[in-house]
A and B are shown apart, each in its own frame.
With several copies, the nearest count.
Chain A
Amino acid sequence: MTPDLKVVIAGVEFSNPLMTASGCCGYGEELSEIFPLSKLGGLVTKSITLHPRLGHPTPRTAETSCGMLNAIGLANVGVDKFIAEKIPFLARQKTKIIVNVAGSTIKEYVEVCARLNDCEPIDMVELNISCPNVDEGGMEFGADPKMTEKSIRAVKKVFQRPLIAKLSPNVTSIVEIAQAAEQGGADVLSLINSLVGTAIDIDTWQPRLTNNKGGLTGPAIKPIALAMVDAVYSHCKLPIIGIGGIASAADVVEFMLCGATAVEIGTALFIQPDIPVKIAKDLKTYLKDKKLTSITNLIGKVRKYK
C-alpha cells in the first residue's frame, strides 16, 4: 500500500504537504516547464500588492554560506494584472492556489484581499506581514502583536476563505505574535519568513545588495525555523505551515515532527527546481520504511527529552 501524503488544512485538502514558497516560484508559469504543478500540494504566489512594483535595483540577491540574501523589494505585477493575466493560468493547474499578499497599510491589505475574494480559483490567502525588504511597513506589522491582530482582523472581514498569517522570525517572541494572529482570526500560521541579514563586498566596500540589507533564507536558517515551529506548535492551536531551508524529505519530516501540517519550499527551488517531485517520492519511501500509512502520523510527534 502506498502511504498517503494527503493533508487537510483549514478544511482545504492538499494532495501532499509540499508547497512552493512565496517569491520563489513567481506565478507558477516557469516552474510548469520543469514539472507538472499537479505534483505540488499547493503553490504560493509571489507577494501581490495593490499597485505594480519594480522592486530594488540589481544586485538584489547575494550568495552566503548555505543560503542567500535577497532584497527583491516585492517586485510584482499588482493585484489587477495578477487577476487578469496570472489567475487564468493558475486556475488550470491541478494544485491549490494560495495568493500571498503584502502591503504597507492595513487599508492596502484589505483592498487587495477584497479583490481576491471575488476571484474563485484562489484557495487561500497568505498575509505577508513579515517582509523585511520594504521600508513602508511590512516588517513592523509582523513585529508588533497589536498590529498583527488588527491587520488580520481587518482582512478577515473582506476575505471569506481561509487566511494564513505568515510570521516574521525577527522578533523576541514569535509565540506572542502567533497568539496575536490567532486572536485576530487567522486560520493558519506559516513560518518563517527571512531573517534580516547583510553582506559586504570587500573590494568595493559596498553592500552586496542595493537595499543595503536583505533577508537570509536557505538551509542555513533551517534550525531557527524548526525551533520556531516547535515553539508555536506548543503554544498555539492553529495548523502550521513550516518554512525555512527545506531541501529534502528529511527536512520535511523534521518540520512535521515539530508540528507543521505542511511546508513551503523556497530557496531550494533555485538550486534544484524539481526538488518537490523528489521530496514527494522520498517521503513515500520514508513512510513505508517507518510502516506509517499517512504522513499526518508525523505531525507534532517529536519525542522530546524531559
Chain B
Amino acid sequence: MTKIISEDIFIVKKRNLKNDYYSLVLKPFSKIENCQPGQFVHLRIPSASIFFRRAFSLADTNAEKGTIEIIFKVFGRGTRILSSFRKSDYLNVLGPLGVPFKLPDKKEKVLIAAGGIGLPPLLYLVAEMVKKGYNPETIEFFYGGKTAADIIERNRIKKMKVNFHPVTEDGSFGEKGLITTPMEEMILENKAEKMKIYSCGPEGMLKAVNELGLKYGIEGQISLEAPMPCGIGLCLGCVVPLVKGGHARVCCDGPVFDIGEVVL
C-alpha cells in the first residue's frame, strides 16, 4: 500500500471565516487515518494561470466523516481562484504530505506560537492534543496578527479551553505588539517548568521564535513554508540550509523542523 494518494475529493462545506479567510471541508479522503498535525495536502487548482499545486496545512480531520479541513487566506492567484470554488465542486488532493509534529510529554507546558495564516496546523495540533487527553490548561495559545481581522476562529480556540493570548500589531484585539514579547514573559515566569514550543507563521516570526527557543534552551518545533513544485521530494525546489550543513527539503524532510535545526 502506498502512503500517499492523489484523488479527486469534494468540497462539502465552504465558510468565509472573515474578510479574505476561508475554510474548506473536503471529502472523502482515503488516507484520512494517516493524517497527523503538521502535515499538509497539495491541491491542484484547475485554471489557466496556475501550473503548480498549492500546499495547505491540515487544519483538522474527521476520521468518522472522512473529511479534512483546510483554512486559507487569499494571497495571490491560486488562493483567489480557490476562494471561488463552491460546495460540490471537486479538487485533486495529493497527501498527506510531510513530517508531522512530535507531540510533547503530557507534563510539559506547551507554548503555541501562531502567526497569521500559520494558524491552521496549530489548530489541528491542539485539537488532537485535547482529544488525546492533554490538559488544555497547560497549553498557552499565542496567536498574533497585524490587526483584529487577522485573528480568526477565536471561538474555536476558546472552546478548546486553552489559555488564549491574542496579540495584534496595532492593538486592535488582545495585547499590542508581537507575540514573542508575551511569550518571553511567560518563559521567564515559568523558568522551573519544562516547556515545548510549537510555531507556524511568517518568516520573521519563526526566526524570532527560533531564537527565543535557543536563548532559553527550550525545545520545540517550527513549521516552514517554501516554494513547492512537487511537495513530495522529487524536484529539490524547496530546500533550506541546515545548521549542521547541507540542505533539507521542506516538503518531505519538513515542513516541521526542530528549533535550532535550520538556518533561517
Contact = CB atoms under 8 A, between A and B. Distances in A.
| A–B contact via C-beta, under 8 angstroms | yes
Contacts of A26: 233-234, 236
B229 A61 contact: yes
Contacts of A232: none
B240 interface: yes
Contacts of B236: 23, 26, 46, 55, 60, 72, 75
A29 B239 CA distance: 17
A54 B226 CA distance: 17
B4 A58 contact: no
B171 interface: no
A34 B232 contact: yes
A270 B235 contact: yes
B51 A24 contact: no
B159 interface: no
A137 interface: no
A72 B232 CA distance: 16
Interface in B191-207: none
Q: How many A residues touch the partner, as a band?
A: 35 or more
B226 A58 contact: yes
A218 B51 CA distance: 9
A274 interface: yes
Interface string B47-67: 011111100000000000000
Interface string B220-256: 0000001101111111111111000011000010000
Contact of A72 (B52, B233, B237): B237
A31 to B, nearest CB: 7
B180 interface: no
B247 A54 contact: yes
B237 A60 contact: yes
B6 A75 contact: no
A59 B227 contact: yes
B2 interface: yes
Interface in A24-41: 24-26, 29-31, 33-35
B35 interface: no
A293 to B, nearest CB: 28
B252 A271 contact: no
B26 interface: no
B239 A33 contact: no
A7 interface: no
A72 B249 CA distance: 12
Contacts of B4: 33-34, 273
A68 B238 CA distance: 14
Q: Which of B44, B48, B52, B240 has the most C-beta atoms of chain A within 10 angstroms of its own C-beta?
A: B52
Contact of B234 (A30, A55, A218): A30
Nearest to B226: A58
B174 to A, nearest CB: 30
Q: Which of A55, A72, A273 has the most C-beta atoms of chain B within 10 angstroms of its own C-beta?
A: A273
B132 interface: no
Contact of B237 (A33, A61, A65): A61
A55 to B, nearest CB: 7
B68 interface: no
B154 interface: no
Interface string B14-51: 00000000000000000000000000000010001111
B254 to A, nearest CB: 12
Interface in A50-67: 54-55, 57-67
Interface of B: 2-4, 6, 44, 48-53, 92, 94, 226-227, 229-241, 246-247, 252
28 contacts: A30-B232, A33-B2, A33-B4, A54-B247, A57-B241, A58-B226, A58-B237, A58-B238, A60-B237, A63-B51, A65-B48, A66-B48, A66-B51, A67-B51, A70-B237, A72-B235, A75-B236, A270-B52, A270-B53, A270-B229, A270-B231, A271-B44, A271-B51, A271-B52, A272-B6, A273-B94, A273-B232, A274-B6
- Listed from nearest, the 9 A-B pairs whose CB atoms lie closest are A61-B237, A270-B230, A30-B233, A270-B229, A63-B52, A33-B3, A63-B51, A61-B229, A72-B236
